[in-house]
Chains A and B, each alone.
Chain A
Amino acid sequence: MTRKHTRWLGAVGSTILATALLAGCVSTGGEAQGPKEGPDSEGPLILQSRFTDAEKGGLEELVKTFNAKGEGTVKINSIPTQTFNQQLPSYLTSKNPPDVYTWYAGQATRDFADQNLLLDLNSVWDKNKADFPENLASLSEDAKGTKVFVPTNNYWWGVYYFKSDFEKLGVTPPKTWDEFLALSEKIKGEGVTPITMGLSDNTWLASAWFDYLDLRINGADFHQELLAGKKSYDSPEVKKVFEAFAQILPFVNPSTLGTTHNQAISDFSQGNAAMYLLGAWAQPAIPADKKDDLAFFQFPVIDPSVPIAEEAPTDGFIASVKTTKPELTKKFLDFIASAEAQTQLAKGQDGTALPANLKATVTLDALATQGKDMIQSAKSVTQFFNRDAGDAQQTPADTALTSFIANPGNIDQILKTWEDASQKIRANS
């Protein structure tokens, strides 16, 4: 063996040794532990929040009010939303995690509850049960029926348009799928893009179309089973959804895959695109002088025999099971659940959120009233694709929907790939 070989062997050997050492360190870390017994530890309660920029205002006011009560101090840690969503698993599994977190209801929360990372909030619910609707109570439970989530508000989804644009085009909001297709045809004839989506930076917006088409064609029960992995994406039912999707593709902005959400919003505000399926969160992005002109209609009915279901994504709070201040955590969440707190919180949200607490008093504008009525009249309520299926399932859905929009002729292959990817993720979690 030459000298050069010995050197290389040495290099390779030391690299392997170093890797083994690193791996050894990793495998011993990050175990879940039980809730802390006994009195709370010192120091403020850490509230890890994904609300930044203008959105954080309402929460800051709320914390100020709580701190003024003198029961304990809460400190907000505002983390950029995308970072927060990616880092939440590492926050929750870390050695000294923050105590309370802003989060989404549904499977997104249950995924953490299944790993025993969330604090049992039954006592908070026992005190406030009467103030919340029944469906929010069951939404806040984990698989064993323990409450792990405190809801603060939800919002609605609808097909947004501008009243003046519809007047100019001589059309009225459609109720059924056929009316919707005829309306799109007419708008297209006027030289305006009927439907827009900004998918280049917000690919998940395409899931809204998938969710609604599935809810209208196959119903909420099938949809929930599909998202929970009990039905498959390459089934004939899902194929029907994509066939309906194919009907509207000629009306969608042809460059939608390369358009950012901001660009799509500005096309929409300028009247270059007539309709945009959006959640209420998008309303603040509309220029101030066009806000009064904004309106939305309920997603059209496709099969009248399918009971109406609506998306009403619910936001709220979860707490870490490793918190060293369980008493203060529960006191704070108790306050968050109160009508007083939810009234205050809703005020800071620009009228785009409906408080979860039924006793919270807010003055709703026309759009919010319409949204509230729509959700309340729905037979069942879903969250949103990633919240119902679990965040990890969003990526294969995005891949399937974007490749479908790019190449609509390939449905069978796309659905098969989607199903395979989805099963792989379930097997690994």
Chain B
Amino acid sequence: MTDTLPSRRETLPVPAPRPAVRRGSRRRRAATAGFHTTGILISVAWFLPILIVLITSFRTFDDVAKNGIASIPRTFTFDTYAQAWQQGDLLPALVNSMIVTIPTVVLTLLLAAAAAFGLSRFKIPFRRTILLIMLAGNLLPVQMLLIPVTRITQQIDVYDTLGALIAVQIAFGLGFYTFVLYGFMRSIPHELQEAATLDGAGVGRIFIQVILPLTRPALAALGALSFTWIFNDLLWSITLLQSSEKLPITAAVLSLQGQYVSSWSVIAAATVVAAIPSTIVFLVFQRSFIGGLALGSVK
């Protein structure tokens, strides 16, 4: 048996479509090469500005001023980071950013999950209207609301406090997060809830022990997303705060821009520092981020 097989193969005629296969594989190879080249080009275009910021952050002021920002770097220095850290007061600013971001993300997700749970799993009258109004709030341009919200915070004496910033950020995030979580929770089979009800679980228990664990991918994705949004926010913080020691990292980066003259390399260094926390969060949640978003969209 083992002897016959090779001999039989030898006697087989040369398959006719072979050249066609080769041509096909060549085309496939060309397609792969094209795919990768385009991919590389797009990622370079995407990454180039970040790279320029990184390179600029290690150049001296005189080098940038003399040769321009687009030139090949002739100097390498860490002084820019030290300068940014001291002049921009980056440490307290980072702490402020964290004080605002972490409670906001946790509270928004908790409240949005509770709202989405109620709206998606129970026959609440006008639930669609409620959802639409929440979402409609997100359609208004934020700039339109800056002055009214500032005035309200002044009247109720919370202007220039981090608490006001947290409250406003929660209020503005809530609509969108509820909408996303609503779509996600609707896709969880009703049988699970019914089974839990039959086992004697109350509404609160169903929410915490059945629905929340199942929503985890969406929560992780939204958590990462909202962290970057709130951490990178500048508009609300400079509108609602007026004391320099309460300003978050984004405002600290801005404060490195002088009235007339600013050192781009120091600003670039501060930008790199400011980007680190959201990059870490994004990398940690990366997997659930992509999965979670896709899951929410399919019903």
Contact = CB atoms under 8 A, between A and B. Distances in A.
Contact of B255 (A79, A96, A266, A284): A79
Interface string B249-272: 001001111111111101000000
A405 B110 CA distance: 55
Interface in A62-90: 76-83, 87, 90
B65 A50 contact: no
Interface stretch (A26-34, A111-119, A172-180, A223-231): A26-34
Contact of A25 (B129, B151, B243): B151
A171 B90 CA distance: 48
B152 interface: yes
Contacts of B191: none
Q: Interface size for chain B: under 10, 10 to 19, 20 to 34, or 35 or more residues?
A: 35 or more
A83 B251 contact: yes
A306 interface: no
A194 interface: no
B11 interface: no
Given A77-B242, A90-B147, A281-B259, A95 B264 contact: no
B147 A26 contact: yes
Interface in A269-321: 269-270, 279, 281-282, 284-290
A266 B260 contact: no
Interface in B208-251: 238-239, 242-244, 247, 251
Contact of B258 (A53, A95, A270, A289): A53
A7 B126 CA distance: 7
Contacts, number: 132
Given A7-B126, A270-B66, A81 B133 contact: no
Interface in A157-201: none
A265 B151 contact: no
A262 interface: yes
A265 to B, nearest CB: 6
Contacts of B157: 95
B7 interface: no
B130 to A, nearest CB: 9
Which of A22, A30, A52 neighbours the largest number of chain B CB atoms within 10 Å of its CB?
A52
A289 B62 contact: yes
B131 to A, nearest CB: 10
Given A28-B155, A80-B255, A81-B259, A263 B242 contact: no
B193 interface: no
A94 interface: yes
Interface string B133-161: 10010000000000110111011010100
A255 interface: no
A61 interface: no
Interface string B277-291: 000000000000000
A382 to B, nearest CB: 19
A83 B238 contact: yes
Contact of A53 (B64, B126, B256): B256
Given A81-B259, A266-B65, A90 B136 contact: no
A29 B154 contact: yes
Contacts of A83: 238, 251, 254
Interface string A388-420: 000000000000000000000000000000000
Nearest to B254: A80
Contacts of B28: none
B133 A15 contact: yes
Contacts of A269: 65-66
B68 A15 contact: no
B259 A50 contact: yes
Given A14-B133, A270-B66, A91 B258 contact: no
A53 B256 CA distance: 5
Contacts of B251: 80, 83
Contacts of B258: 52-55, 81
A280 to B, nearest CB: 10
B65 A286 contact: yes
A82 B126 contact: no
A266 B64 contact: yes
A267 B87 contact: no
A281 B260 contact: yes
A246 to B, nearest CB: 28
A358 interface: no
A265 B257 contact: no
A54 to B, nearest CB: 6
A82 B257 contact: yes
B293 interface: no
A43 interface: no
A425 interface: no
A48 interface: yes
Contacts of B133: 11, 14-15, 18
Contact of A11 (B132, B263, B264, B266): B132
B154 A94 contact: yes
A10 interface: yes
A83 B148 CA distance: 18
A308 B289 CA distance: 66
A286 B136 CA distance: 50
B256 to A, nearest CB: 5
A11 B136 contact: yes
B257 A80 contact: yes
A349 B120 CA distance: 63
Nearest to A83: B238
Given A91-B242, A95-B159, A289-B62, A266 B68 contact: yes
Given A10-B126, A79-B244, A286-B65, A29 B155 contact: yes
20 contacts: A18-B133, A23-B148, A25-B151, A53-B255, A53-B262, A55-B258, A80-B238, A80-B251, A81-B258, A81-B259, A262-B69, A262-B264, A263-B69, A265-B65, A266-B69, A269-B65, A269-B66, A270-B66, A270-B68, A287-B61
Interface of B: 61-62, 64-69, 87, 126, 128-129, 132-133, 136, 147-148, 150-152, 154-155, 157, 159, 238-239, 242-244, 247, 251, 254-264, 266
- Sorted nearest first, the 8 A-B pairs with minimum C-beta distance are A281-B260, A29-B151, A266-B68, A80-B254, A52-B255, A287-B62, A80-B255, A285-B261
